[in-house]
Structure 1
């Protein structure tokens, strides 16, 4: 792709400055650390959930796709629902020990808080 691709600048106002450089706001995704370098924390959370318990896995460093893949595998192996966003994985119910065992089997450094 060329640096001066007009399709990337459709909503930009014309500039008479010959030195003007168009900059995009593309955010680079973080590179996913290998499982042995990840330091995941597992905790039980009840706040703002109407008394329901969720197992919260925090501390994941990496891309959203890798986070969602890890969450999908944990949800499948626990047989429950949940979600993954912002570096956190929510697993519905109290599955702290089971999640720790699953993560340890995959090579992650996981600790129950």
Structure 2
């Protein structure tokens, strides 16, 4: 007997509300201009920079969080740019194309 089954026996009138843990990012505003994906080295370490998004800042922050969790890497959001630690241009570009964005690769 499962713990939830035991709780149902103890509290038969209680209704369990299931929580939806998947966040819907389909409401992120898509744009006509491509997002620029470029590679730089800062202090000798590789970083991938995404810029050129002209939607809401909160949408861009959500997109940054999705990219960081998908890649399991660190990064930040500063000055309307997403900075991802490491060279992940190909994976990021594929991820953004799946979301419906136009992406332009710049540098190297």
TM range (shorter): 0.5 to 0.7
Distance in 2 between the 1:91 and 1:80 partners? 7
Paired residue secondary structure (2:70): helix
- Moved runs in structure 1, 4+ residues, more than 4 A? none
**1:6-25 aligned within 5 A:** none
Greater Rg, structure 1 or structure 2?
Answer: 1
**1:75-94 aligned within 5 A:** 75-94=68-87
Per the alignment, residue 41 of structure 1 pairs with 36
Paired residue secondary structure (1:61): coil
**1:68-79 aligned within 5 A:** 68-79=61-72
Listed one character per residue, the Cα deviations across residues 55-110 of structure 1 (whole Å, up to 9, x for unaligned) are 00110112221111000000011110101122210010000000000000000000
User: Which consecutive unaligned segments of at least 5 residues does structure 2 have?
Assistant: 1-27
Distance in 2 between the 1:71 and 1:38 partners? 18
**1:57-72 aligned within 5 A:** 57-72=50-65
**C-alpha RMSD of matched pairs (Å):** 1.5
Distance in 2 between the 1:52 and 1:43 partners? 14
TM-score when scaled to structure 1?
Answer: 0.65
User: Which consecutive unaligned segments of at least 5 residues does structure 1 have?
Assistant: 1-32
TM-score when scaled to structure 2?
Answer: 0.68
